[in-house]
Structure 1
Amino acid sequence: MSLGISVMIPEGIVLAADSRQTYRNQKGMARIGSDSASKVFRIGSRMGLVISGLAFLPQQGVMKNVSGFIDEFRQTKPVDKMSVGDVAKEISQYFDTIVPYREQIKHMPESIKTDLARQGMELVDLKEEPTRVVFHFKNREGQLQEAIAAPDGLQFILAGYNKNRSSEVYMIYIPGTVEQVRDSRQQGKEFGAGWIGQTDVVTRIVLGFDPHMQGIPFVREASAKIGESAIQQQLRGMEYSIQWGTMTMQDAVDFCQLAIDTTTAIQRFSDGVLMDPGGITGVGGHVDVAVITFDKGFVWLSRKHLKSKDGNEIDLENLPSLEK
């Protein structure tokens, strides 16, 4: 898992992410595989990408780190000649053919039936959709409930500047959609923050509630009566009033660092929530931070380097390429 954040303010854009990489072993136990994974990437001269989700993807029968696919994308696409929106669409199309979510969805119905039977619950109906499986079941008390099973996938934040000096931020979901969340040309969408990955802690802090709240019986009852959108609108009244439009670049950097550090600390002392115990300490390690402005482009503020035991360091990104 991961926590990736973007903040767009008048001065520019800040992108940040942790460096932890987790996986499940053959017994299904979550383990920390690395605290040196890269999740923030330069895309051309004025765009950046933050990634969360699957760490490895198949290529010709071999599992390959997702960063390798991002490198291939950068090398094959003329991103500096494209708008931020066009790059977002290209990323979506590129990874949609690589992430094996369709195969996962095929096997989900049988897994759902087996899991419900093991827990003494009854499957009522099940519907396969292109990106998920929706099903209804009766719990041990005979109450009818709805649930959604989604395959493992990828989430991206793409942010940057167009040639006309406008800036944009997109959320890209594989499987799923491409959503523009920030646009300097549209009033009300020009400034703000967004996050992907293990977002429960930062969501609690900023929005004032945890997404787990949707599973509380009285919230489900209220949603059935007045609709989920009405519930969401009322809950957003708990959101902290943060003046993103008056933030300096340093303020935005501090916010990203605070959100990731706080998530790391809370995960250290907690193990999920009481209604859904068993959390994964998926956020940790060095926090990579990059800033983007139109005049300076993509610039690293804080980035881990390769280190030797005797203290030597190298930054591979800034070394000249051997290719002519």
Structure 2
Amino acid sequence: MSIVVNTTTPEGIILAADSRQSYRNMKGMARVGSENAVKLFQINSRIGAGIAGLAFLVENGVPKNLSQFIEEFKHEDGVEDMEVEEVVQGLYHLFNRKYNWEDQLNDLEASIGNDLQSKGLKIINVQRKDNQVHFTFQNPQGIVEEINAGLDIIEVLVAGFNRDGSHQVFSCRIPGQVQKLRDSYQIDKQYGSSWIGQGDVITRIVLGFDGRIVNLDFVKDALGTLGEAEVQRQLQGMEYNIQWGTMTLQDAVDFATLMIHTTSAIQRFSDGINADPGDMPGVGGPIDVAVITPDHGFVWLKKKKLNFEDVEVDLDRCPYI
């Protein structure tokens, strides 16, 4: 699953990502496929991107790492002149085409529907939202039950500077939508931190809770009596008061890498939460870090290199043939 963290400050933008590539095998068991996967990319001289979620897509019958699609996108005509929003829209449409998730969701819905009917269960309602299918059905005893199923998602985070010097940060989910996270022209969105992937640990640390809190009965009651807006307002009081607007670039590096190290450590010692046990330790391996500033553009602070014994090679510094 992995995690990508962005921290945006007045001095510049930090992108950091882990390197673990995990998956579930044919028996549904969690496996670590690699500790050296590339999750962070330089798109052009001003913009970077990170990916999390689904690790492979099948093209022409062959599984391909998502990094291969991004490398192909980087070399398309006109990418160097793209603005931040153009990059995220380009990647969003690219992965929407390559994933072919609509057909896969149709197949998933049909498979679950056939399975329920073969067991003598009466399907009452079927609803879809993004990558999820929700079934409501009645068993032979007349009891109404529910089940959710869904596809793995692809998450992309894009950050950088536009040609006029303004900065922006966007995220997108496939299936899902594009969302603007930071914008130097919007007072309430100028600075802060954002993350994609297995972000429950960071969300608990920074916000004081994670999204699964809505599954608790007392929160459901509060949502019904107070309304979502009021519950959200009160929960915002749990967020740590971090002065993003005064944070230095080095502090932003320290924050982003600390969040990744902490997530990896918590996953090492835990296996989900008591209310939802069992989780994949999807964060680990070396951390890549990039810095983006208006004056220097995209600069690698730390990047994995190919190595064997005491020899290292950075292919980005090798000449093209």
Partner residue of 1:316?
315
Task: State the AA in 2 paired with 1:312.
Answer: V
- Equivalent runs, 1:1-324 vs 2, <5 Å: 1-113=1-113, 124-129=124-129, 131-136=131-136, 149-309=149-309, 311-322=310-321
Instruction: Measure how far apart 1:47 and its partner are.
Output: 0.3
Q: Which deviates further from its counterpart, 231-240 or 7-16?
A: 231-240
In structure 1, what is the Cα distance between the partners aligned to 2:117 and 2:272? 25
Task: State the AA in 2 paired with 1:15.
Answer: L
In structure 2, what is the Cα distance between the partners aligned to 1:225 and 1:40? 43
Instruction: Measure how far apart 1:320 and its partner are.
Output: 1.6
Instruction: Measure how far apart 1:209 and its partner are.
Output: 0.5
* 1:121–1:188 Cα change, 3 Å: farther
Instruction: Measure how far apart 1:122 and its partner are.
Output: 7.4
* 1:137–1:288 Cα change, 3 Å: farther
Task: State the AA in 2 paired with 1:321.
Answer: Y
Number of aligned residue pairs? 321
Kept in 2: contact 1:126–1:135 (CA 8 A): yes
* 1:148–1:294 Cα change, 3 Å: farther
Question: SS state of the match for residue 75, structure 2?
Answer: helix
Instruction: Measure how far apart 1:111 and its partner are.
Output: 4.9
Q: Which deviates further from its counterpart, 125-134 or 204-213?
A: 125-134
* 1:118–1:300 Cα change, 3 Å: farther
TM-score using structure 1 length: 0.91
Question: SS state of the match for residue 27, structure 2?
Answer: coil
TM-score using structure 2 length: 0.92
In structure 2, what is the Cα distance between the partners aligned to 1:214 and 1:144? 22
Question: SS state of the match for residue 19, structure 1?
Answer: coil
In structure 2, what is the Cα distance between the partners aligned to 1:207 and 1:293? 27
Instruction: Measure how far apart 1:121 and its partner are.
Output: 9.0
Kept in 2: contact 1:99–1:153 (CA 8 A): no
* 1:214–1:94 Cα change, 3 Å: same
Q: Deviations over 1:129-152 (max 9, x none)?
A: 56432444579x998777654321
Instruction: Measure how far apart 1:7 and its partner are.
Output: 0.7
Instruction: Measure how far apart 1:96 and its partner are.
Output: 0.7
| CA RMSD across the alignment | 2.5
In structure 2, what is the Cα distance between the partners aligned to 1:119 and 1:272? 31
Q: Which deviates further from its counterpart, 98-107 or 204-213?
A: 98-107
In structure 2, what is the Cα distance between the partners aligned to 1:204 and 1:22? 23
List alignment gaps of at least 5 residues for structure 1.
none
Instruction: Measure how far apart 1:107 and its partner are.
Output: 2.6
Instruction: Measure how far apart 1:190 and its partner are.
Output: 0.4
Q: Deviations over 1:106-126 (max 9, x none)?
A: 133345457879999975411
* 1:158–1:285 Cα change, 3 Å: same
Q: Deviations over 1:186-220 (max 9, x none)?
A: 11110011000001100000000122211112212
Instruction: Measure how far apart 1:226 and its partner are.
Output: 3.0
In structure 2, what is the Cα distance between the partners aligned to 1:229 and 1:133? 26
* 1:187–1:120 Cα change, 3 Å: farther
Task: State the AA in 2 paired with 1:319.
Answer: C
Task: State the AA in 1 paired with 2:76.
Answer: T
Kept in 1: contact 2:131–2:152 (CA 8 A): no
Q: Which deviates further from its counterpart, 100-109 or 169-178?
A: 100-109
In structure 1, what is the Cα distance between the partners aligned to 2:284 and 2:12? 26
Task: State the AA in 1 paired with 2:300.
Answer: W
In structure 1, what is the Cα distance between the partners aligned to 2:196 and 2:130? 22
